[in-house]
Structures are given as structure tokens and as C-alpha cells.
Amino acid sequence: MKTPYIILLLIFSINGFSQKNKLGKVSIDELKVKSHSIDTSAVAAFLFKNGKTYFEYDREGKPLIVTEVEAKIKIYKKEGYDWANHEVSYYVGGNNSEAVKFSDALVYNLENGIIVKSKLKSDGEFTVDVNESWKKKKIALPNVKEGSIVEFSYVIRSPYIVAFPTWEFQYKIPVDQISYTINMPEYYDYNSMTRGFLVPKISKVVAANLRYGFGESKTTYSMENVPGLKDERFVNNIKNYTSSIEHELSSVKQSDGFQKNYAQSWNDVVKNIYDNDDFGKELKAKSYFEEDINKLIAGAKTDSEKMNLIFTYVKNSMNWNERFSYACKNGVRKAYKEKVGDVAEINLMLTAMLRHAGLNANPIILSTRQNGIAYFPSRTAFNYVICGVEIKDDIILLDATSKNAVPNILPTRALNWFGRIIRQNETSAEVSLLPKASSKQSVSIIAEIKPDGKITGVSREQFTEHNAFIFREIYLKKAKESYIESMEKRYNGIEINDYATSNDKDLLSPMIENYTFIHENATEQIGGKIYFSPMLFHASTENPFTQEERKYPVDFSFPYQDNYMFNITIPEGYEIEAIPQPITLVMEDNLGTFKYNISNVGNKIQLKAVLDITEPNISAEKYATLKDFYKAMIEKQNEKVVLRKV
């Protein structure tokens, strides 16, 4: 698997990037420009974006992190109008809140050869509540047109010095010039890490801070002519590959000369997490559940029995409030009493119960797919926790936030490469979260083609592993009529009747759906002949991989296998004139195979096709073979059987 280029910023060049651009300076020539000089397809571009982070101190001497940002954006096309809007998230869930303030927000247009300014209106700035812990400050600038130049600045003030805001150098639109400067007091040490394939230039100088009277380093990261990010399908999280830089507090030199470490190593990270009352203390509490669990497992004889009983009890008793965190907000006792909790409260409760039952159970902290990947020792990179039960040489992964969960089947949100298991002795180890078992979808169809080309039939589909979990999580929560309507649309306008499912609640069995169908669009009649794909409405028509090159790994989430068994009766008075040839396609390194076997006996056509993707992640280096594999597979799926009248 290809991972993005990562570098710890320990070596500094002396060639900085001078800030040539300022807000409030817009020329007629800039407004006349019709397209970006390098990427003519760009709908907009950052002419510049500059930021700086530094420390201030309140009246009580407590430190604040201040981040100032200013940006100028050129709008080239109507599709780029949204870039005249901007939003900044800020945290309000602790004892103290962050604050965000926008200013200098203007739109410049050229009207009759004169530069006209439009200011941000009062109703164009507003605050949105995201959840109980986060808010967003938003602006929407007026009078935006093709050719407009937009500029704005904002300031974030935060009492939380554990991490700086993530600074991104790359966006979906090009960036002509971008820089980020950090003023760091001498007694603070932060881990620094860049992500992505583009690495910034770095300059560093050391000087005295005259205002506060201490030594201070000034580090500037800069880039020029940054290309826009291109959308690619099957990407885990584009954040993992976007050029950006993060800083997290590593250590503080105290006035007595002692150095306090926070995140120098994974051991430091784990110790700090475990020492947190909202984590380690919650794991030790057990009086609130002891009586219930003792009764529950009284007859259980093996560790597996105990694990399954407790896991089922927690996921059926508790209701997830959809809050992500590895630390409890209200505590396990309150969650257990009210039967509602966040990820941490439910899964730390599960871990404590399993430990009480004598199992070797430990929390596994991780970062969700949406949150990105934790590449280096960091507390703030994690936002989720599950439970790992070590039985013999295996670690069984459990997440009790879903009623449909089964052991070793994690929600897709948690399938993010790796997590860290934290054991009771406060050591940790990396744990792979990538599924090993192949998730199967098996389709069996018995169909008949009518003389008018209409196809009728019976379909039975079976889902296992993650496919079964996703089916139960998503589709069983929809209204039956709505789901059937979405199926009919997805399958090219078939008419579905007699729809039914089985094993809805039998979570250890495959999920099964059955239905009858009528399809009027699956055949073509030309010159008295009937043409159709023997894969009917299950034939893929578009290759998801069309780009010439790919920068990011292809992420399928989990290995999977699609099996198709079709038995098709041709209409009376017709015979087979042509039929596709069998084929076996094999990808490089056996990453995937496609087997297509077809035969006919009398008036029946029998087809068996199997697509097997053995790896959940395929590196960008293997993109060419993946692209060619899919191209050949789709071409085969769409080859026609030709029937002619006898």
C-alpha cells in the first residue's frame, strides 16, 4: 500500500517565502483575468492565503493560541461562486470556549472600467450549532460574479494549547501562493508533521520576544503554484493525502527546570490518555453493573460464551447518541442508568464488563475514516474507541454502538487502517483494523425471456460479513416501499414484486432478500434478432477508474466477493446464434480475479460469474492494472447473447 509522504520537520532551510500579497490591494488587471494561468479548468483560485499562529497571555497569565488568517480568491466561473463563502469551526464544549471573528470581507468587481467594492452584509455572517461541543462561524459575501475577487480575514483565539489548527496548503482549487508562520516560545515543544505529496519550503529564525521577554522561534512554511485536488473514487479520506501541517504539544519546560512530556512517544500518549479521569477512571468503575453481569454469565462455561453474552447485552441495552470520542462526556454510570451514551461510554463500559468476567479485554483507540489517520504519537488524532478481546493469539474487535454489530465486524467509519490497543499495564501496540474475511454478495436468478423481449424472473440475493452488516444498518432502516423504489431505479427500471427478507435479526446468519421482477429494458430487438447481456441488470456499465493516473490508494473498505448464478430460458421459436466466450481475468499480485463461465443446454443459458477482490486497499502503483482489469471485466459483462428466430 502506498502511503503519503511524511516528514518530521527537524531540518530547516534558510530560504523563506516573502509575503508579497496584502489585503485591500486589487488591480484592474487582476479583475480582467478570465482564467487561471496554469489550470484553465479551475472555477476559482486562491491568489494567496497567509496564516500565522502565536501565543498571547490573558490577565491571569494563562496562554492563548491565536491564529490569524487572510485570503484573496479569484472567481473564474459560476461553479466557483461557493468559494465566496467561508466557514470556521470552533470548540465550545469545555470549561472555556474558542472564539472566531471575521473582518476585511469584501468583493471586488469591475463595472464600466471602475473597481466597485461590496462589503459583507449583516445577514451574511452567522453562527451555526454543529453539536453540543462545536459551532461554525460562516460568512456569505454578496454580489459575486464571474471575474470577482473575494478577500477576507479571520482570527481564532483558543485557550486549548494542546494543538494548533491544522493548516492546509492544498484545496480543490489551485493556490498561487500560501504561507503559514508559527511563533513558538522557547519553553514549548510541539511535534510537527506534514501530510501529502507536496512538501512546503521551510525557514526558521530565532529571536527574542520583546513584549513578553522570552526567546522565540519563528518558522514559516510556504508553497507556490499548488495544483487543485482532483476527485478520485474509492478514497478513504482525501484529508490523509492533502498537503497540510499539524502541531501537537510534546513537552513544556517548567519554571523549576523540569520538563513535562505529553506526546513525545506512544507511551507518553497512552499514559496521558489513561491518566484522564474520563478514560482510565471510567474503566475501573464496576459497582454499577456487577449484579447484572454476574447473573448474565452465571451459566457460561467458556470465554467465548461470556464475551458473546456481554457483547449482546450491551449493544441491545444501550443506545448510541452518535457522539464520537475516546473519552466519556457524562460517564459510564449515568449512561448505564439512562441507557444512552457516546462511543466511549458504551465501549469502555463493555470493556469493563468483560474484564469483570475474567476476559483479557482492552480499549482500542482509533481515528475514524472521516477524521483521518494518526501517523505519529498524538492524543488529538484519535476520536473513537472500541474494545479488543485477546483470546489465544487473536484479538477480537467489538463495537457495541450498533444493534446489528457482530464480533470482528466494525462499522465502516472505524475501518481506518490501524488503532492502538491500550493494555492495563498502560503499554500500547498497533492493531490492524483492516478486515480479513471476504464480504460476499451472492445473486441467484432464474429468468425467462418472452418473445417480445420482456424478461421475467425470480431473484435471491445473500449477503455476508460487512455486506450483511451494511444491509441491516442502512436498508432495513428504510421504509420497504422506499427501498424497493431505489432498487428499481438502480437496476435500470425493473419492476419488483413479492419482495421479502429473511434473517433480519439473526445476525450470525447471512442476510437474504427475495423478489420477483419484470424487466422491459434488458433486451434489444434488431432485424428479428434479440440481443441481451446474460448478466441482465447486474452488468456494470461504467468503469469507476477512468483517470490516466492516480495519486491515492484505492480503498474498497474490505475485501469482497460477488457471485452470480443465472439460469435464463430463451423464448420458444428462437435459437442461440452467438454467445460470449468464457474468460478468467487475474490482476497483478493476485489482487483480484474475475471468472466468467457460460454455457447453453437446449433452450437454457447458464452463467456463473465471480468477482473476487482480495485486498481492501490497492496502492496507486497498481492503479494501471486495476483500471485495465475493470475495463476488461465490464466489457465482458456487457457482451451480448444473440438470439435468432428458428
Residues 507-528, mean pLDDT to the nearest whole number: 94
d(CA 455, CA 568): 9
362: buried, middle or exposed (CB in 10 Å: 19+, 13-18, 0-12)?
Answer: buried
pLDDT at 339: 97
Q: Could you report the per-residue pLDDT of 553-583, keeping only the tens digit for each?
A: 999 999 999 999 999 999 999 999 999 999 9
Q: Which of 416, 517, 504 is nearest to 459 (CA)?
A: 517
Residues 542-546, mean pLDDT to the nearest whole number: 92
Q: Does the structure show a pLDDT above 60 at 510?
A: yes
The answer as to CATH 3.40.50.450 being correct for domain 266-432 is no
Domain 7-23+34-261: state its class.
mainly beta
Q: What are the structural domain ranges in the chain?
A: 7-23+34-261, 266-432, 439-645
Residues 308-322, mean pLDDT to the nearest whole number: 97
Task: Give yes or no for a contact between 75 and 148, defined as CB atoms under 8 angstroms apart.
Answer: yes
The percentage of residues in the chain with a pLDDT greater than 90, rounded to a whole number, is 76
d(CA 487, CA 513): 12
pLDDT at 233: 87
306: buried, middle or exposed (CB in 10 Å: 19+, 13-18, 0-12)?
Answer: buried
Query: Would you place residue 132 in the very low, low, confident or very high pLDDT band (cuts 50, 70, 90)?
Result: confident
pLDDT at 210: 65
Residue 129 φ/ψ, nearest 5 degrees: -80, 115
Residues 121-133, mean pLDDT to the nearest whole number: 90
Overall fold of domain 439-645: Jelly Rolls (2.60.120)
Collapsed DSSP state (helix, strand, coil) of residue 92: coil
Of residues 186 and 169, the one with the higher pLDDT is 169
pLDDT at 7: 33
The percentage of residues in the chain with a pLDDT greater than 70, rounded to a whole number, is 96
**Could you tell me the pTM of the whole model?**
0.84
d(CA 411, CA 537): 29
Query: Would you place residue 153 in the very low, low, confident or very high pLDDT band (cuts 50, 70, 90)?
Result: very high
Query: In the chain, helix, strand, coil percent, each to 5?
Result: 20, 40, 40
